Structure 1
Amino acid sequence: MMEPAHAPGRDRLSALPDNVLRRIMSFLNARQSVQTCVLSRRWRHLWRSLPRINADYTEFCFACLDEKKEKVQEARFKKFVSTLLLRRDPVPLLDKFWFRYQVSDGNNNEKASAEAGLWISHALQLQTPVVEVLTFQFPLMLDHAVFTSDYLRKLGLSNAYLRMGFFEQLSRGCPQLEDVFLNDCIILDDEISSTTLKTLNIYASRFSEDYRASISTPSLTSLTLYKPDASVPSLKDMKSLVSASIILDDNTDIHELLMSLSGVRNLDLECPQKMVTIAKNTQWCPEFKDLVNLSLGQFCLGSKLYALTEFLKNSPKLEKLTLDPPVVIIDKLEERSFECEHLKIVEVICSEDDSTLLKLVEDIFVTCGMSSLQINRKSSYKQYYSDDFFRFDYDSTTAQEHAE
């Protein structure tokens, strides 16, 4: 006989305890979680004590072409978030505060940014360890004084204008901060300094042209610097660094850069070809005595494989090499060869149809003593952005329907 709890049509969700329901609801967007209040008397106030808040502007207005309607929807979103935070039960602490925002009027940027700052401040008062903010159109101009919390551990910002003193405030005001993610930001600080940061990811962000910024983070174990604009910051005091991903479009001193990274175990590097060409007659490549995994882009496969051979000669413990050339341009190896006694596998990122590239790489490494079985094709691409942060899985069609 079928147990009542498993009978067809039974509401199993309502049989769960409140704390489990709150945890499930916390993965919904905030507007959806509030709408559950109409389900029954029991659900009426569950939204007020959720451990996470995900407030998404696109639930109110997505790809709106009517400027007047867009401003109305913006006002609705602001009122919703402010009311949500004010009516939330202050006793349960907040695990995460995430919101996606739009600043469509540059003339009203300061006011819109101030409102967002109040939301962040409120969340920090609830001792949230995670704050993540995405902004459309004009950058969010946050007053960095709001970042004062003994509990904040992770901060993510996309499209934000970070004034001079921002990182100093983070260092002083957030003594537990360990993880910072910045995307498409304007960074005016001349120094990014922290003794607590362990993970720093900076994507497609613009630094000042008037001076060269520096990054000094002695506790940092993971660094990503993806296509910085205007200038490339110098790296200082990286003694704890284990993994680094450096993708550059602009020139910088390659010797200085690599010296700062010479202690890492995992390195992903892409830079302009001329950086290596200019440095060819100098001792530009230091010894990477602990390097185990190395990924190199197009720059290493030109100039008779000069850069590639220099890396291999100076990486005595290398076990895995990944080559990621965007096009098939591979020079012939010069008479000199290289030896990597610990090298176990070479991966080539290319499509299934690109047998020419794979064959060229095989010829290089088989000549130097490796077996063709150790050389593999890898079709997957590198993903530098976090799905969890940007919430790429969000259904924009549904968002537009909500807005209408």
Structure 2
Amino acid sequence: MPPRKKRNSAPPPRVADRIGALPDSMLHHVLSFLPVQAAVRTCVLARRWRHLWRSTTGLRILGLDDEEPVEFQQLRKFMDHLLILRDRTDLGTVEIKLGEPSDNDDVEHYVKLWIRFAVMCKVRVLSIDIYEPDLYLGDMRLVSQHLRTLHVDGIALQGTFLDFASCPSLEDLKIAHCNICDGKVSSRSLKHLSITRCWSDSHCRVHVSAPGLVSLELDDFSGRTPFLQNMALLETAAVYLGPHCEDVCLSFDSGVFCGANNNACDNCVPIEDDCSSDCVLLGGISSARHLKLLSESGKFVFTRDLKCCPTFSKLKTLLLNEYWCEAPNLDPLTCILKNSPVLEKLTLQLFSKGPNHKVEMKGHYCSMEGPSAISEHLNIVEVKCNVVDERILKVLKFMSAFNICKPIITLSMLPIF
């Protein structure tokens, strides 16, 4: 009888824990992408993970857990324990995002507490997304030598919170869906500023003072248009005066703004602290190299600014919409072209929101035959629209008078998907 084969009693090979073998610093960074609740739960994975959550490089304080809403009281209690047990290591990012609006009166108190904790831990990127329009951070001043990026969404801002003099490293500021009650957005270090779909109930304009700004976005502000102070280092700016802008001429008719005349309607009459003696918008952005200026019909701010139109001495590219071509003699368009001595590219996006346009017309400017008031550097002119009608023909006739898009205009039908 043949001998029995010996069974292999050796244990199965162990699967290497490659993630657990990573350095602590790398695991701290990986855990920072998880919501705080999920990051803490990793303590049960193995002894190696027991305390890693205490020193993550980021905190994501979210009103959602496994995609389910978390009651604020539950989140508050969780955060009370976390802030006590967590190590006081530096934080790269902190995100505070609450879901549905809460009736809890403690929301403001605890949001401020979490912000102060983030600042204490030398946070560099702070994001506050609350969607509580009645939550005010007006009496809170940010004091941080390390904060570089701040995103604020869905709360009310006023007073000292908008003064970033005590944040000398702040470079990127985004404000969206916020009630900017009053005061002044002020920072000498700021390089990039975006104010999107915000509003103000104040009769006085919100002032924006950021002399070191490189890029600016002011999109669909409701209320009185913010007053922009000089931005000498500005490279790009995009300004859109949307339908909720209160700088409306009540006597607007066929492109005639009483705000540009002596007999002004009630809305066009300057009020105290309105800065009406200077440009509201154009003066502050006159140093930009690339401009996008869009407005709904009937808004008089751009037209009034053109009364003392500054010189756009560095402007290379300019995009305008039909607002600039609605006046009977296209005076706004003429004025801004005459005050842009080094303009190289002009784009007119007329009666078409895009991004796809059915008709694009491209041409050039003949400086040898053109008036000396137009930039001799202008070599690209684009007209984008959906249909060539009387309004477009009026603009083309105007440009022909300036030897723009001459001798030939090419039309290309673009596919619309």
When normalised by structure 2's length, the TM-score is 0.70
Query: Which of 366, 369, 391 is matched with 2:406 structurally?
Result: 369
Sequence identity (%): 31
> Secondary structure at the residue paired with 1:260?
coil
Query: Which of 164, 177, 199 is matched with 2:170 structurally?
Result: 177
- Which amino acid in structure 1 is aligned with residue 191 of structure 2? K
Aligned residue pairs total: 353
CA contact (8 A) 1:219 1:239 kept: yes
Query: Which of 355, 363, 377 is matched with 1:342 structurally?
Result: 377
Q: Which residue of 2 aligns with 1:13?
A: 19
Give the unaligned 5+ runs of structure 1.
1-6, 65-71, 331-335, 381-404
Correspondence 1:196 to 2:196: no
Correspondence 1:311 to 2:336: yes
How many angstroms apart in 1 are the aligned matches of 2:159 and 2:301? 35
How many angstroms apart in 2 are the aligned matches of 1:374 and 1:153? 47
> Secondary structure at the residue paired with 2:98?
strand
When normalised by structure 1's length, the TM-score is 0.72
CA contact (8 A) 1:103 1:138 kept: no
1:234-383 alignment runs, 5 A limit = 234-249=227-242, 250=245, 251=247, 255-275=279-299, 279=303, 283=307, 285-303=309-327, 306-325=331-350, 327=352, 340-346=375-381, 354=386, 368-369=405-406
Q: State the shift of 1:326 in Å.
A: 5.2
Bigger helix fraction = 1
Q: Describe the superposition over 1:261-317 as per-residue Cα deviations: whole angstroms up to 9, x where unpaired.
A: 211112121123334699499745433120112222331343465544443343232
Change (3 A) 1:248 1:280: closer
How many angstroms apart in 1 are the aligned matches of 2:305 and 2:146? 50
Q: State the shift of 1:35 in Å.
A: 3.0
CA contact (8 A) 1:114 1:142 kept: no
Query: Which of 17, 23, 33 is matched with 2:29 structurally?
Result: 23
Change (3 A) 1:282 1:239: closer
CA contact (8 A) 1:185 1:206 kept: yes
How many angstroms apart in 1 are the aligned matches of 2:42 and 2:22? 15
1:215-230 alignment runs, 5 A limit = 215-230=208-223
Correspondence 1:96 to 2:93: yes
How many angstroms apart in 1 are the aligned matches of 2:73 and 2:146? 31
> Secondary structure at the residue paired with 2:283?
helix
How many angstroms apart in 2 are the aligned matches of 1:306 and 1:194? 36
Give the unaligned 5+ runs of structure 2.
1-12, 249-275, 360-369
Q: Describe the superposition over 1:168-188 as per-residue Cα deviations: whole angstroms up to 9, x where unpaired.
A: 4x32x3233333221111222
CA RMSD in angstroms, aligned pairs only: 4.1
Question: Relative CO higher for 1 or 2, CA cutoff 8 Å, sep ≥ 6?
Answer: 1
CA contact (8 A) 1:138 1:159 kept: yes
How many angstroms apart in 2 are the aligned matches of 1:229 and 1:313? 31
Q: Describe the superposition over 1:66-100 as per-residue Cα deviations: whole angstroms up to 9, x where unpaired.
A: xxxxxx7222222233333332221x310111110
1:73-112 alignment runs, 5 A limit = 73-90=71-88, 92-102=89-99, 104-106=101-103, 108-109=104-105, 111-112=106-107
Q: Which residue of 2 aligns with 1:39?
A: 45
Q: State the shift of 1:224 in Å.
A: 1.8
> Secondary structure at the residue paired with 2:47?
coil
> Secondary structure at the residue paired with 2:169?
coil
> Secondary structure at the residue paired with 1:240?
coil
How many angstroms apart in 2 are the aligned matches of 1:57 and 1:325? 43
Query: Which of 162, 176, 182 is matched with 1:167 structurally?
Result: 162
1:87-166 alignment runs, 5 A limit = 87-90=85-88, 92-102=89-99, 104-106=101-103, 108-109=104-105, 111-142=106-137, 144-145=139-140, 147-166=142-161
Q: Which residue of 2 aligns with 1:398?
A: none
